[in-house]
Structure 1
Amino acid sequence: MNTSSAYPNSRDTRDTTDNRILVWDLPVRLFHWLMAACFAGAFLTAESEHWRLVHVTLGYTVGGLVLFRLVWGLVGTRYARFASFIGGPSSVWRYLRGVARAHPDRHVGHNPAGAIVIVAMLTLACALTLTGWTAYNDVGGEWLNELHEGIANVMLALVGVHIAGVIASSWLHRENLIGAMVSGRKHGQPGEGVKSAWSSVAALMLVAVLTFWWWQWHAAPAAPVSGHDAVSVRQTDRYDSDD
């Protein structure tokens, strides 16, 4: 069942509804921005051996965040649940027809087209984590490394589609959707908002992420000595033995 409220005329609704309601709880918002930062960081460090630990750590973090989002999508607040925004093909087609007419239905939570992108990104993020693990542990051969890179490129393209969709929806609905993912608040009818931001869950998630990063940093093996440093060490040892 889709519980996300939709209005047939988004601009009229905006004109008559000045209430700012809480739509996105804090765990959803924290997940969104951590996911964006971790994917961007992992993508930028993918080709550097020097930053390999950072790349791996961020990649594993993405996997952990996706696992959390899957659970929160079942037990979280109203608009965090998958049941509130994942609909059938007819709802997607109806929304896209509205977009083509520059007059789409407004949804308090995710719109049906955005839901497809979200599900696709979560799926690709899972595939990225699995193939990244195989690449890091030399399991499966070179073809899995190439598959990992290919999935990352598809993910990047999908992120671009997501950003374009957010910008287009913000313009069509005359509402700052990026700002809404920061504050958690959007325009809506009284009684449609969620009652709690669940800050405690967000705090636990942040502590878990930071703890994992700390553990990765301290559990990492020592960096290998470079050729120049190795020569310096041998020379120092020789001088010490001469003395």
Structure 2
Amino acid sequence: MSTHDSQQVVKVWDPLVRVFHWSLALFFTVAYLTEGDFETVHFYMGYGISALILFRLLWGIIGPKYARFTNFVTGKEKVVSYLKSLLTGKAEHYVGHNPAGGIMVVALLLMLALTCFFGMALIATDNIGPLAGTFVASFNEDLVKELHGICANGTLALVFIHLAGVVVSSLLHRENLIRAMVTGVKVIGAKKSKVETVKGESHV
């Protein structure tokens, strides 16, 4: 952490979290756009997303403070309370993910995992991929295809909600969250920093 006049530059997102975030955004975009047209590219994007999910689950346990699930996954009451506070424009500021952002991370990982699973299950019905030859290959092809599409579209919907949340949070707290995910740091005003320190949101 460094201090410049009335502001503090706080290290929040480590390099691996940032690489994960932008790689996942790229892989999902390519996978979504190539579905049905460029199957090989689509398959490999799916495998890449699966690997990224596994990495994030591990990093959420052993990674640095702000990458850990214990830092941002909260109970339902805290999420609801935070969302209500957004309506008043007086939402508490968090150095890392806020409660709503934390639940969105979990929702996106879960929906992406289901999308990848049903995608692999779909090609397994044609005896292709890592699930070929397993009990999954006996699933109804039409049903699996429909579930794969539902999960992919559900992920896209969550992405749009996530982007809207980023915009709202950036405007409310006067910080550039997109830039923070590129540089790994946040520039926080002195008053906010003092409040966060008192509330236990310690800096890296």
Pick the TM interval, shorter chain.
0.7 to 0.9
Tell me what 1:183 maps to: 183
Tell me what 1:152 maps to: 152
Tell me what 1:23 maps to: 12
Alpha-carbon distance in 2 for matches of 1:104, 1:170 = 12
Alpha-carbon distance in 1 for matches of 2:171, 2:118 = 37
Tell me if 1:59 matches 2:52.
no
In structure 2, list runs of 5 or more residues that go unmatched. Answer: 126-136
Number of aligned residue pairs: 177
Tell me if 1:100 matches 2:87.
yes
Alpha-carbon distance in 2 for matches of 1:44, 1:105 = 37
> Following TM superposition, by how much is the alpha carbon of 1:28 offset from its aligned partner in structure 2, in angstroms?
0.5
Contact 1:35–1:62 (Cα < 8 Å) also in 2: yes
> Following TM superposition, by how much is the alpha carbon of 1:94 offset from its aligned partner in structure 2, in angstroms?
2.2
> Following TM superposition, by how much is the alpha carbon of 1:117 offset from its aligned partner in structure 2, in angstroms?
1.1
Tell me what 1:69 maps to: 56
Task: Give secondary structure in 2 for the equivalent of 1:110.
Answer: coil
Alpha-carbon distance in 2 for matches of 1:93, 1:187 = 27
> Following TM superposition, by how much is the alpha carbon of 1:116 offset from its aligned partner in structure 2, in angstroms?
1.2
> Following TM superposition, by how much is the alpha carbon of 1:17 offset from its aligned partner in structure 2, in angstroms?
5.0
Tell me what 1:137 maps to: 124
Amino acid at match of 1:44: L
Tell me what 1:193 maps to: 203
Alpha-carbon distance in 2 for matches of 1:37, 1:65 = 12
> Following TM superposition, by how much is the alpha carbon of 1:78 offset from its aligned partner in structure 2, in angstroms?
0.3
Greater gyration radius: 1
Task: Give secondary structure in 1 for the equivalent of 2:7.
Answer: coil
Tell me what 1:169 maps to: 169
Task: Say which structure, 1 or 2, has more relative contact order (CA 8 Å, 6+ apart).
Answer: 1
Please report the RMSD computed on the Cα atoms of aligned residues, expressed in angstroms. 1.6
2:68 to 76, 81, 85: 81
66-75 vs 138-147, which moves further? 138-147
Deviations 1:143-168 (A, max 9, x none): 10111011100110000000000001
Alpha-carbon distance in 2 for matches of 1:125, 1:60 = 11
Alpha-carbon distance in 1 for matches of 2:180, 2:61 = 22
Alpha-carbon distance in 2 for matches of 1:98, 1:144 = 40
> Following TM superposition, by how much is the alpha carbon of 1:134 offset from its aligned partner in structure 2, in angstroms?
1.1
> Following TM superposition, by how much is the alpha carbon of 1:137 offset from its aligned partner in structure 2, in angstroms?
2.2
Alpha-carbon distance in 2 for matches of 1:89, 1:153 = 25
Q: Percent identity between the aligned chains?
A: 42
Contact 1:17–1:187 (Cα < 8 Å) also in 2: no
Tell me what 2:133 maps to: none
Amino acid at match of 1:145: K
Tell me what 2:34 maps to: 45
Alpha-carbon distance in 2 for matches of 1:78, 1:99 = 25
Amino acid at match of 1:168: V
Amino acid at match of 2:11: L
Alpha-carbon distance in 1 for matches of 2:176, 2:103 = 21
> Following TM superposition, by how much is the alpha carbon of 1:91 offset from its aligned partner in structure 2, in angstroms?
1.4
Structure 2 length normalisation: TM-score?
Answer: 0.83
1:112 to 94, 99, 110: 99
